[in-house]
Structure 1
Amino acid sequence: MADGLAFREFDTGMHLHIVGICGTFMGSLALLARELGHRVSGSDANVYPPMSTQLSEAGIILMEGYHADNLMPRPDKVIIGNALSRGNPEVEAVLKSRLPYVSGPQWLAEEVLPGRRVLAVAGTHGKTTTASILAWLLEKAGQSPGFLIGGVPRNFGVSARLGDGAGPFVVEADEYDTAFFDKRSKFVHYRPDVAILGNLEFDHADIFDDLAAIERQFHHLVRVIPGDGALLVADRQPALERVLAQGVWTPVTRFGDDSNSTWRLVLDQEDACRFRIIRQAAVGREEAIVDWPLTGSHNARNAIAALAAAAECGVGLAFGVDALTSFESPRRRQELRGQVGGVQVIDDFAHHPTAIAATLEGLRASTSDGRVLAVIEPRSNTMRLGSLKERLAASVACADQVFWYQPEGLDWSLEAVVQQSPVPARLVSSIDEIVSAVVTHARSGDRIVVMSNGGFGGIHEKLLSALEARHESA
């Protein structure tokens, strides 16, 4: 028996065990399972904050490492994350013991989504922010939505909740595969009533051969949206147009900056803190001005997508625009981690050339006096494979200085990216060296943005500590 495995007296449901529980999606499932009254345990190779803290506070038993002993006492059902594969000792023990097991997306679809109006947010970029905005709009409208989001919306403080069982449910719809025994994209399981298709580029080079393979998965999502549902599609996206060309059976509404789109975005400021939305519907034309705290045209597009989806649930444009003023960006999306001596340290999840460029463009436009210093770790599977390395140099054009981190295990060198950089760039192979170089270089008014889809060795706190030490000794 795993040490300390004990459940609260009020647990009345099944005992669910989640393998790979500290991933954002699986950890969110664990929170939903607890809300449903289930006893929940879980294991992961890396049990660390903030997810471990969030789960422990919810009364969920965590075990570090994958072992057959983690399955004692015998759970009623095991939920297996997509990071696990055959050969994993805990997976092998599940199969050998004939325990009932499902994937995370299947469990969500069977245990949480039935009877709910499901709103799914899909796309290569912007899913977390768009889903967070949508959930906030519905919350402000009094609809108490449930949600599962691949990040932590700061307006809610948790990555998932059930909400009102009769209310809508917002789900971040990921195109990554479901599990070792189900290679379909996760989002196929959700069968949404309303789906946002925000953009589509090549990504996940570890499981997809090319963009056409991802387009096929997106069309599988299109196939399961009912005819009386809604399909909200970004304009000026050739890959999405190819998806729709394979067949569509649901009314399509376009959003973006095209003059023919039903939901049209007009930027009034370069930093996109202020923009206009024009809704051209059969019932007439509406216009509203958005003033909000986020920056970047990509976030403005996220906002208009969320407004269009919220309208499908009866949220009016004027009300939605007003709600945007109190929206807080999710954790790790241009999140200010601290400021010392006039130097800001910002955390951002960007891990794709398009996302890197969008983040830096927004920060550059909203930075008046200082510089934008970018610290980038190519950590995602696509980046580690080098599939998009030819686009990396151009993606940092809006930065003033770039520090590229060459982590151990990266099979290709970033030297060519540094040499081709349109702005001053430096290649660094240790986190301590990055901290020293960045802090030496930084001056008051600068914004240091750290971009990675991982913890990056706690570099944010190390930067802040080093800046504090420099400031105190000055």
Structure 2
Amino acid sequence: MIKKIHLIAACGTGMGTLACILKEMGYRVTGSDQNIYPPMSDLLKEKGISLFTGYDSSNLDHKPDLVIIGNAVTKMNVEARAVLQKGIPYLSMPQAVNKFIAKNKKIILVTGTHGKTTTSSIMAYILFVAGMDPSFMIGGILKDFNSSFRIGSGEYMVIEGDEYDTAFFDKGPKFMHYDPEITIMTGIEFDHADIFTDIDHIKTIFANFVKKIEKVSHIIAYDDNDNLKEILDTPVSSIESYGKQGQWSFSNHVQENSKTLFDVKGPNKKVLIKTNMVGEHNLLNCVACIAVANKIGISDKKICDALKSFSGIKRRQEIRGIRNGVTVMDDFAHHPTAVRETIKAVRPFYKSGRIIAVFEPRTNTSMRKFFQEIYPDSFLDADMVCVCEPAIKKNIPQKDKFSIKQLVLDIEKKGIEAYSFENSDKLINALISKLRPDDLVLIMSNGGFDNIHVKLLEKIQ
């Protein structure tokens, strides 16, 4: 009988969420990670999960009945080696999700390069407002639940489906482990350069996924992405499209104070939506979820009520504080498309001040030169750009490394004030003297960024 479960690499978004779920289900849960940083580490500690900082075979001395190994862990990891040597049963994260949580649930799976967390969160909240008592497991913390997960008694479970590999003992994508009833596909772009060689490699992964689900899952697919269109070129038994030319689309987009009003049109349907979310990318996320909600019979009123009251997700255009008229906002954006759309989305709401984009390229892809020539155009809607060397270091050959100094030079050529910094402390010290009332400091990184948000707000104060 399984009573004690240990997670290796517990502070990743997926693994941390799984740890919290298992704790709530009554298991004794421990975890270890090389990097213990908020907000996930705070959530784990709040749930009473013991965390070990760093990896060590002694972290297994309490003799767990099962170990769940995250995909950030290599087979040379000291704890992973100890698990194998001691013969402790182990699973990957998606295997554990299927074993403990998703069995007997109708899965709504959200996949794609961008928008997975936001779209999954919107979908889960619509189901909740509709009284369907959903479960969900999402790679972000929903403000309405102050959680990245929920275990409900309803028939539906929303899962954010990641294309990243599963574990050192399973190099296939995580989403291949799930058997969804409905799948949202938000589009395909190149990312995860550490495991994918090029865009064709990624398209192959998604094409294999579509082959697996095409006869059993209803697909809601973004219509304006050529890569996704290509892999959906062959007939699929049940599919609807969304986008500017899709079967589901939006129009009459109006921003009113901090609200957005827009019409959504679908097959034999038109509904007026009001939401706190901004930016066309977020409205498309809403449209995808409305198409799913319509498919499973949720009323227009419930859909409208949910989107009107949805509070959003932490680290997605999240205002961390306002000091002396300066707003500090946190966002997870790191891919060039996400950076561009995030800046574009907040631009209309800060017309009286400047948008100062602060960017840390810390993903495996953004640390490499793949997007060196593309990133400059992502910052065109910013008034000032500050780029910081990532706090974490990777063993990347010099010829393949992304250059923040070159990025700054290229941004300056486009007439935008830009600066590079060796670390976050130097960035903060330089930025403080430049800030004015009504400025927005938009901080973009997929990591903790040395707690720069709190440090900056304290300096302004």
CA contact (8 A) 2:223 2:243 kept: yes
Match status 1:269 vs 2:254: yes
Q: Partners of 1:178 and 1:429 in 2: how far apart?
A: 33
Q: Partners of 1:101 and 1:223 in 2: how far apart?
A: 29
The equivalent position to 1:292 in structure 2, one of 275, 278, 288, is 275
Unaligned runs of 5+ in 2: 395-400
Identity score, percent: 39
Secondary structure of the equivalent of 1:441?
coil
1:418 CA displacement: 1.2
Q: Partners of 2:87 and 2:123 in 1: how far apart?
A: 40
CA contact (8 A) 1:295 1:366 kept: no
Q: Partners of 1:268 and 1:202 in 2: how far apart?
A: 29
CA contact (8 A) 2:2 2:65 kept: no
Unaligned runs of 5+ in 1: 1-11, 469-474
Secondary structure of the equivalent of 1:438?
helix
Who is 1:256 aligned against? Answer: 243
CA contact (8 A) 2:10 2:19 kept: yes
The alpha-carbon distance between structure 1 residues 83 and 221, as it changes in their structure 2 partners (threshold 3 A), is same
1:136 CA displacement: 0.5
Secondary structure of the equivalent of 1:131?
helix
State the one-letter code of the partner of 1:100. P
Q: Partners of 2:451 and 2:38 in 1: how far apart?
A: 11
Match status 1:148 vs 2:152: no
Who is 1:375 aligned against? Answer: 358
Who is 2:385 aligned against? Answer: 402
Comparing 418-427 with 344-353, greater Cα deviation is found at 418-427
CA contact (8 A) 2:375 2:407 kept: yes
Q: Partners of 1:142 and 1:206 in 2: how far apart?
A: 42
Q: Partners of 1:151 and 1:392 in 2: how far apart?
A: 25
Match status 1:419 vs 2:409: yes
Q: Partners of 1:416 and 1:56 in 2: how far apart?
A: 41
TM-score by length of 2: 0.94
Match status 1:389 vs 2:372: yes
Q: Partners of 2:56 and 2:370 in 1: how far apart?
A: 34
1:37 CA displacement: 2.0
Q: Partners of 2:235 and 2:22 in 1: how far apart?
A: 34
Who is 1:4 aligned against? Answer: none
The equivalent position to 1:173 in structure 2, one of 161, 170, 174, is 161
The equivalent position to 2:174 in structure 1, one of 160, 176, 186, is 186
CA contact (8 A) 2:214 2:238 kept: no
Who is 2:398 aligned against? Answer: none
Match status 1:459 vs 2:452: yes
1:406 CA displacement: 2.2
1:267 CA displacement: 4.2
Who is 1:67 aligned against? Answer: 56
CA contact (8 A) 1:223 1:248 kept: no
Who is 1:361 aligned against? Answer: 344
State the one-letter code of the partner of 1:368. K
Secondary structure of the equivalent of 1:387?
helix
Q: Tell me the matched-pair count.
A: 449
CA contact (8 A) 1:288 1:318 kept: no
State the one-letter code of the partner of 2:382. A
1:125 CA displacement: 0.7
The alpha-carbon distance between structure 1 residues 286 and 131, as it changes in their structure 2 partners (threshold 3 A), is same
Who is 1:437 aligned against? Answer: 430
CA offsets 1:49-96 (integer angstroms, 9 cap, x no match): 332232233232221211111112221111000000021110111111
State the one-letter code of the partner of 1:68. S
Match status 1:235 vs 2:223: yes
Who is 1:23 aligned against? Answer: 12
CA contact (8 A) 1:116 1:167 kept: yes
Two-structure CA RMSD over aligned residues (Å)? 1.7
State the one-letter code of the partner of 2:238. P
The alpha-carbon distance between structure 1 residues 457 and 208, as it changes in their structure 2 partners (threshold 3 A), is same
1:249 CA displacement: 3.9
Q: Partners of 1:366 and 1:49 in 2: how far apart?
A: 28
Q: Partners of 1:377 and 1:48 in 2: how far apart?
A: 16
Secondary structure of the equivalent of 2:155?
coil
